[in-house]
Structure 1
Amino acid sequence: MADLKGINLAMQTPFNDDGSINHKIYEELIEKYIDAGVHGLVLGAGTGQHPYLTETECNNLYELGAKRIDGRCKIICQTSALNVDEVVRRSQHAEGIGADALMILPPYFEGPSDDDGLVAFYGEIDAAISIDIVGYNIPQATGISVSTDLLKRLVELKNFNYIKDSAGDLTVHQEYLQITDGVLNGADTTTIYSLLAGTKGVIWGGANYMPREAVALYELVTANKYAEAFALWRRMLPSLLFIWRTHYTPSVLRASQLRGYGTGNVRKPLAKLGADEDRELQRALESLSA
């Protein structure tokens, strides 16, 4: 079982103005994030616009990323797809290039929503690979909530050792922690509270634009320096509230660009923030410079 504690940064995919991937900046970002002290990088994350990348593009990013990372932090690759055979194929490729874990959404579009169907889905993938599966609870995007009863069944699978919880419900999050210690927080605005509850690590999109602050927050909480942690959290929170309540990925990418990380470009069908939203984002980021 891979140790996914700490800050696993859900990494952006840098795009050029025409929507093509800028691999040079991608490699530069990996260096910047590792230099900031992140414990892991999630390649092809939702923040990296995984739904709008082809399988070939993902595979190329993962190969390039694994070579550049070269064991300096953990590698989590998203291998989600609607077709189970494709998930297996993507997963085996990611395992083959050195991924430590795989992040896999439930089959979110008119797929099975019953527990038996979801267990069968993950079970088929589990049988085809030998590294950790990070399941994904993000009902606001998939329409599927992973219940505690379902999680109890999933963690019985050989490789289903983690679940990323992006729902933002701290009650359910703490219920998950009663079932497994392999819980990773994915809701930006609850990060400090999930760490205080005992969550060992996070998969964090907002860390794209404040990687050093994200690592510092984790270190302060784990060192029991709570007053300092909350002082830092108060500086982080305005922008986190903004990205969580606005257009998430365009907001994260624009915030990253403003703070020296990436191009700020999105790939269609996503669009950049409007002028008013952009000004509001810039105001929300001011506290990070205070």
Structure 2
Amino acid sequence: MADLKGVNLAMQTPFDAEGAIDFATYEKLIEDYIAAGVQGLVLGAGTGQHPYLTEAECNRLYETGIRQVAGRVNVICQTSALNMDEVIRRSQHAEKAGADALMILPPYLEGPADDDGLFEFYRTLDTAVGIDIVGYNIPQATGIAVSVPLLERLKGLKRYRWIKDSAGDFTTHQEYLQTGTDVLNGCDTTTFAALMAGTKGVIWGAANYMPHEAATLYRLIAARDFEAALTLWQRMLPSLLFIWRNPYVPAVLRAAQLRGYGTGNVRRPLQKLTEAQDAGLQKALAPLMG
């Protein structure tokens, strides 16, 4: 079983100007993020533009990343897909490559949205793999919310041990915690509150541009140095509010580029920030730039 507590950085996939994966930058970023003190990396996360990567690209990304990490931190691979056989194939490939856990969205486009159908989806996956499954609650993107009663059922499966909660509904987040499931916060703006409430860790997109601050925040809260943690959080919050209310992935990648992490390039159909958005982002980043 994987121990995913701490900061699991939802890692960007760096692209060159033509939209091809820049593997040299990818390997350098892995080294930079590990040096910053994070406990894990999520490869092919939403922040890594997973929907716009082919299966073959994902497989190479995971193989390269796992080899570069070499067991120094946890590796979670997102193996989501719409076709059931493809989800299983992607998941088994990532497991064979050495992933510690798999992050898998519910079937998000005209698939089953009822609790019984969602349970059967994850039950099937549970029997197909031998490592931990991280479920994923992000209803603003999928149109599917994992209900608390469903989570109670899912936690009875052998591999479904974790859920990433990116919804931003802190009441539901705390209800998830009450089930005894291991919860990972995925909403940037509620990170401080979630860690204070007892969530085991985070899968954090914004850590791409502030890995040192993210790792330090977790360490301060774990050490119960709440005053120092809150002071740091107030420096982090302006940019977190900005990325949450603007085009998320382009904003995170641009912020990362401004702070020396990656190329800032997005893959089509995503587009870079407008000039006005870019100016707003730079203003929001100012408290971190001193």
- Asked if Structure 1 and Structure 2 have the same fold, meaning a TM-score greater than 0.5 normalized by the shorter chain, the answer is yes
Letter in 2 for 1:4: L
The 2-side partners of 1:105 and 1:39 are apart by 22
Once the 2 structures are TM-superposed, how far is the Cα of residue 239 of structure 1 from its aligned partner?
0.3
Find the counterpart in structure 2 of residue 88 from structure 1: 88
Find the counterpart in structure 1 of residue 14 from structure 2: 14
Find the counterpart in structure 2 of residue 198 from structure 1: 198
Once the 2 structures are TM-superposed, how far is the Cα of residue 84 of structure 1 from its aligned partner?
0.6
Matches within 5 A, 1:23-42: 23-42=23-42
The 2-side partners of 1:101 and 1:56 are apart by 19
Find the counterpart in structure 2 of residue 75 from structure 1: 75
TM-score by length of 1: 0.99
Once the 2 structures are TM-superposed, how far is the Cα of residue 180 of structure 1 from its aligned partner?
2.1
Aligned to 2:189, the other structure's residue is in SS state helix
| Contact kept? 1:181, 1:200, Cα under 8 Å | no
| Contact kept? 1:108, 1:143, Cα under 8 Å | yes
Letter in 2 for 1:116: D
| Contact kept? 2:155, 2:181, Cα under 8 Å | no
The 1-side partners of 2:106 and 2:253 are apart by 25
Find the counterpart in structure 2 of residue 274 from structure 1: 274
Letter in 2 for 1:98: G
Find the counterpart in structure 2 of residue 217 from structure 1: 217
The 1-side partners of 2:206 and 2:181 are apart by 23
1:133-161: CA deviation from partner (whole Å, max 9, x where unpaired): 00000000000011100101111111000
Query: Which stretches of structure 1, 4 residues or longer, exceed 3 Å deviation after superposition?
Result: none
Find the counterpart in structure 2 of residue 160 from structure 1: 160
Letter in 1 for 2:17: D
TM-score by length of 2: 0.99
Find the counterpart in structure 1 of residue 130 from structure 2: 130
Once the 2 structures are TM-superposed, how far is the Cα of residue 210 of structure 1 from its aligned partner?
0.1
Once the 2 structures are TM-superposed, how far is the Cα of residue 112 of structure 1 from its aligned partner?
0.2
The 1-side partners of 2:237 and 2:59 are apart by 34
CA RMSD for the aligned pairs?
0.5
The 1-side partners of 2:155 and 2:245 are apart by 31
| Contact kept? 1:34, 1:73, Cα under 8 Å | yes
Once the 2 structures are TM-superposed, how far is the Cα of residue 96 of structure 1 from its aligned partner?
0.3
Once the 2 structures are TM-superposed, how far is the Cα of residue 35 of structure 1 from its aligned partner?
0.4
Aligned to 1:260, the other structure's residue is in SS state coil
Aligned residues: 290
The 1-side partners of 2:136 and 2:225 are apart by 30
Once the 2 structures are TM-superposed, how far is the Cα of residue 104 of structure 1 from its aligned partner?
0.2
Aligned to 2:42, the other structure's residue is in SS state strand
The 2-side partners of 1:26 and 1:149 are apart by 39
Task: Name structure 1 gaps, 5 residues minimum.
Answer: none
Letter in 1 for 2:142: T
Report the identity percentage. 68
Find the counterpart in structure 2 of residue 265 from structure 1: 265
Once the 2 structures are TM-superposed, how far is the Cα of residue 289 of structure 1 from its aligned partner?
2.1
Once the 2 structures are TM-superposed, how far is the Cα of residue 122 of structure 1 from its aligned partner?
0.6
